[in-house]
Structure 1
Amino acid sequence: MATMHVPDDIRTTPATLGSRPALLVEPLGQPRGGTILYFHGGGFFSGSPRTALSVTANLVTRTNLRAYSVDYRLAPEHPFPAAIEDTLAAYRALLDAGEDPATIVFAGDSAGGGLTVTTCLAARDAGLPLPAAIAAFSPGLDATRTGASMTTKAGVDPFFTREGLDRTGAMYLAGQDPRQPLLSPAVCADLTGFPPMLLQTGTDELLLDDSTRLATRARDAGVDVILDVTAGVPHVFQAWAGTLTEAVDALDRAALFLTQRLPRE
């Protein structure tokens, strides 16, 4: 993670959101109104707001929004649904502090990209108003691992193997049936009423069909959805914004998507 590019024109401050630590990431100048609620990746067993800082900070500098990155509990000590409980509590804390849901957007990568969707499902089930938009980078959206890309991209994906995903996924599942909306939204979630969604993924990913199938479910539910697939790039390629031109371009598109869904100032 030390090799990833983090913009200089941000400040970071330890914070608490809900019941969990968080990292507040802000532009150096006066931010525009609104908040990115960010969920880091790491397969639900690793990672932190610091390991996701390249993507979070690049979104902050491009949108001029502040971001809270949530340090949710991790497996195997804290399996499903601990992560969702923490991210939902963080969202509820923003609402309780008086933030308008129309000025809050969810963003996340990998497992955290999955949390953007499952936290929204949990918020809807809890009767909470939904955020203005979702941006998910290489999201993990299917704990059943039944997407065709799990086979067709085997040996192509430089990041994951099926065996590795099965091993780490078992830590989070802890014996739970993966075929349920909060674990496999690409397979069995009802996305009716969801906010606009941006799903960014790469053609070389085992998890490619997590995004393609969720996009189909979203479309069928009448949701405004953009499926943004980049050729020849690895999992969460956006984190290499200082190295890959494709990462810079994808983050530009994500920032435009998010700001267009917030109230004009």
Structure 2
Amino acid sequence: MTPPDDRHEIAALRALIAASPRPANLAERRARMESITAIDPIPLDIAMAPLQIGAMAAEWSLAPGSDARKALLFFHGGGYLSGSLKSHRTMVTGAGRAAGIRTLAIDYRRAPEHPFPAALEDARAAWDFLATQGYGPGDILVGGDSAGGGLTLALCLALKAERLPLPAGLWLVSPWTDLKITGASIAEKDADDPLIHRGYLQELAEAYLAGRTPADDPLVSPLYGDLAGLPPALIQVGTAETLLDDAVRLARRLALADGRATLSVWPRMIHAWPIWHARLAAGRAALAEMGAFARAQLG
């Protein structure tokens, strides 16, 4: 059950976001995202270890008592244009603690400098890197928020196309699964969502697709892919999101493909709210739900 004080907490978060409107300049946008998502520091007991996967920066994290033999491979959100290791460090380390496993977050290449398929190539490089570190597919949970959720699904579809083993489970927070932007909630929730709106999504999609990739290509819009045989998925979404239908339709498509999907809908929550779990009880509860899912899938 959503904690009784969540209305006050989510109102305070909305005020914080409203006080920092999104600028037009891309560099300023990227800095603004970090300023509002990395507002809470990570706990001092989290062990962080930077590394390189080829030319790509990445980070390990491990909370005390966690099982380093299991891993969460995490892809940050940001519409493929923004987001970074810094912007999602609080979220990914909190998720690792909740699941009791090691985490690997990557700084994949972003559009418009690096449009599709650069992010997917980097996601695959991180997946292959985990194999070199002794992690089998059954030891790995893959997840992300927003565009990172779409990238999670795209990686699985790419692995599936090569008939390769898939991860043990998928954690999808407010996933962006449809770059055609056809969900009814885009309009229905426009007045309620403080972050994501149609014009912004169109701008992001155009930059990522770069005029070369159709918006319904399953590797950019997994909603249109063959989802049969994908791992069990936990899909978490808030009711105050324009991307609500991206999550709801994904759960339906997975069900139609005889997949195992848990759709967890959180009243009043905004896009990717577990990022702010240090100040949202509903964020901590969502991470606890993810932790239980991870333990069930990883054994």
**TM-score interval (norm. to shorter):** over 0.9
Indicate which of 177, 187, 190 corresponds to 1:154: 190
Q: Which amino acid aligns with 2:176?
A: G
What root-mean-square deviation, in Å, do the aligned CA atoms of Structure 1 and Structure 2 show? 1.4
Does residue 185 (structure 1) correspond to residue 238 (structure 2)? The answer is no
Distance 2:66 2:144 in 1: 24
Q: Which has the higher mean CA deviation after the structures are superposed, 238-247 or 94-103?
A: 94-103
- Structure showing greater radius of gyration is 2
- Tell me the TM-score normalised to structure 2 length: 0.84
Do the aligned partners of 2:74 and 2:103 also contact (CA within 8 Å) in 1?
A: yes
Matches within 5 A, 1:108-123: 108-123=144-159
Indicate which of 179, 191, 206 corresponds to 1:170: 206
Do the aligned partners of 1:18 and 1:86 also contact (CA within 8 Å) in 2?
A: no
Q: Which runs of 4+ in 1 moved over 4 A?
A: none
Distance 1:95 1:153 in 2: 41
Indicate which of 208, 212, 219 corresponds to 2:248: 212
SS at match of 2:236: strand
Q: Which amino acid aligns with 2:214?
A: D
Q: Which runs of 5+ in 1 are unaligned?
A: none
Residue in structure 2 matched with residue 221 of structure 1 by the alignment: 257
Matches within 5 A, 1:38-53: 38-53=74-89
Deviations 1:198-241 (A, max 9, x none): 11001111111111111011011111100011011110011111
Q: Indicate the structure with greater helix content.
A: 2
Does residue 254 (structure 1) correspond to residue 254 (structure 2)? The answer is no
Aligned CA distance change for structure 1 residues 30 and 231 (closer, same or farther; 3 Å): closer
Does residue 105 (structure 1) correspond to residue 147 (structure 2)? The answer is no
Distance 1:79 1:42 in 2: 14
Residue in structure 2 matched with residue 68 of structure 1 by the alignment: 104
Q: Which runs of 5+ in 2 are unaligned?
A: 1-36
Q: Which has the higher mean CA deviation after the structures are superposed, 193-202 or 159-168?
A: 159-168
Do the aligned partners of 2:66 and 2:97 also contact (CA within 8 Å) in 1?
A: no
Distance 1:198 1:2 in 2: 24
Do the aligned partners of 2:38 and 2:86 also contact (CA within 8 Å) in 1?
A: no
Do the aligned partners of 1:72 and 1:86 also contact (CA within 8 Å) in 2?
A: yes
Per-residue deviation, 1:28: 3.4
Matched pairs, number: 262
Q: Which amino acid aligns with 2:108?
A: Y
Do the aligned partners of 1:141 and 1:185 also contact (CA within 8 Å) in 2?
A: yes
Distance 1:181 1:48 in 2: 24
Q: Which amino acid aligns with 1:45?
A: L
Residue in structure 1 matched with residue 271 of structure 2 by the alignment: 235
Q: Which amino acid aligns with 1:63?
A: A
Distance 2:55 2:261 in 1: 31
